[in-house]
Chain A
């Protein structure tokens, strides 16, 4: 058997695949962030909290209302998205004319509030959420045992990411969005309701986070702090991909998941930091990120 740096290739395949699975979470989350940043110019620090809310809404649906995973997969993003719309309407929109910094600080404050409230109500050890029975079990791929649910995560996130990319880059609605990003005043003058577009975009970005939350619920514990540390990593992903670039966010999300996965084999202690190292390197060489257009 060949060995690559002491690791049998089979094991490496397994790790690469796992990296891709983690990458799917990065991809959906950074996609949401990128969409929001692209149109609102706001770094949405609440993203982690909204991801957590998605998981919690799924848990509540199951435990209070008896609604199963599949319905929650639609319902949770909708509910959290509506909350997002309210936040945008009543708070964020009032900061639209100001510096990025204030949007970041506002959403940071909101994240603290949301996480604190959930912690008060549900404690911090987390709540159990079972894998839906249709996806229980797994397949032995020869080089590793792949749980069905993880396979589903990759597929679901790929579909969602590509669909989002298609809508924004290839449809009329997406064209409006991009126009509003480039020049809101002019777009408004053409009779397009830009504030509404902005609000809905924020709602959509947030719904993506909630969707990732529901996906995560069965494999990670449903925990009020689950998004708090993730958010910093996802920021890095967005920055590396290029702020506001849709495809950049998707590709970088999967790519960095992969790199992180491989790091977990060779130098596990550094796997939480490798993304930041890459971020510094990329920003020094390509300041606007891998896929960003220079400002």
Chain B
């Protein structure tokens, strides 16, 4: 699967390996543009909506780190996202942790879960890898359903306090919370960017493209795979825990397999194996869900049509297409 994937994604990782000066400058410009956009957004758009987009964008970025750069298709990323959101909501509500500690604990647990599941799953490849991650995620779902004392069953953990950042700054106001989320999002994005362009990231890409070759060069492929898996799980957890604080709710939706499907969709629409694609994908999908909500049952039909169009015509995703047009990796 790893070989096939990279072959399908001409705009993706392949070209990124040769990061030229010009590309670096372009990326820096995009980062600055994005930061400005994020800073201005709450004055133009509904802040809660933008926060939702950022949480899902971070989730999709984390997923893309694993699939686009690690070549591993996980069909169970909802487990880390959802479990982290439960932990963060639970600790904030029942232990009275401050939001940053709650988010941190959620992220940690997701990372641990990723380490356990990852070490089981990376022994297998391709479609089997995907299926193991799915099965493990189903077990997390079952656990969440069966422990209502912890997860609140299908009611979820509701009315989670937003609390005070460092015990000082109240986050009850949407704008205050917004900038916290914005910082988390930008930090997550920068971290992922750094990972991709670090020597570690280069080795991951080498393993993705040709695992036997990387092994023959002396790299312990499984260690790299596990590391990227854990990083991806922890970052997905970061997104999940932040979401729980933003919406003051952690629910079964976050651990359901359709959430795992959704993150695949976001990444695909935005552009698999591109740095910025998942952000665009998350924006598109979340806005679609938001603005089409009044269409009722037609929403799924519209979503399905977009899916089909994307797969048939825009396999590289939105950012992938742009990247090819300007002949620069994005």
Which residues of A approach B to under 8 Å, CB–CB? 43, 91, 94-95, 98-102, 105-106, 108-117, 119-120, 232, 235-236, 239, 243, 269-270, 272-273, 276-277, 279-280, 283-284, 287-288, 295
Contacts and interface: CB of A to CB of B under 8 A. Distances in A.
A110 B131 contact: no
B127 A100 contact: yes
B315 A98 contact: yes
Nearest to B6: A99
Interface of B: 1, 4-5, 7-8, 73, 120, 123-124, 126-128, 131-132, 134-136, 138-139, 141-142, 146, 257, 261, 264-265, 268, 297-301, 303-308, 310-312, 315
Contacts of A43: 127
Closest 3 CB pairs of A and B: A109-B307, A112-B304, A116-B301
A98 to B, nearest CB: 6
Contact of B124 (A99, A108, A235, A287): A287
B208 to A, nearest CB: 13
Contacts of B141: 273
Contact of B4 (A99, A105, A108, A288): A99
14 contacts: A98-B4, A98-B315, A99-B4, A105-B311, A113-B300, A116-B297, A116-B299, A236-B131, A269-B146, A273-B138, A279-B135, A283-B124, A283-B128, A295-B126
If over half of A's interface residues share one DSSP class (helix, strand or loop), that class is named, otherwise mixed; here it is helix
Contact of A100 (B1, B139, B299): B1
B131 A106 contact: no
A270 B298 contact: no
A113 B8 contact: no
B179 to A, nearest CB: 36
Nearest to B7: A99
B312 A106 contact: yes
A103 to B, nearest CB: 8
A113 B305 contact: yes
Given A112-B300, A112-B303, A272-B142, A239 B128 contact: yes
A274 to B, nearest CB: 9
Nearest to A243: B127
B135 A91 contact: no
Given A113-B308, A277-B135, 17 more contacts: A91-B312, A95-B311, A99-B7, A100-B126, A101-B73, A102-B315, A106-B307, A106-B312, A109-B304, A112-B307, A116-B299, A116-B304, A117-B301, A232-B134, A235-B131, A273-B141, A287-B128
Contact of B307 (A108, A236, A272): A108
B132 A280 contact: yes
Contacts of A273: 138-139, 141-142
A236 B8 CA distance: 26
A271 to B, nearest CB: 10
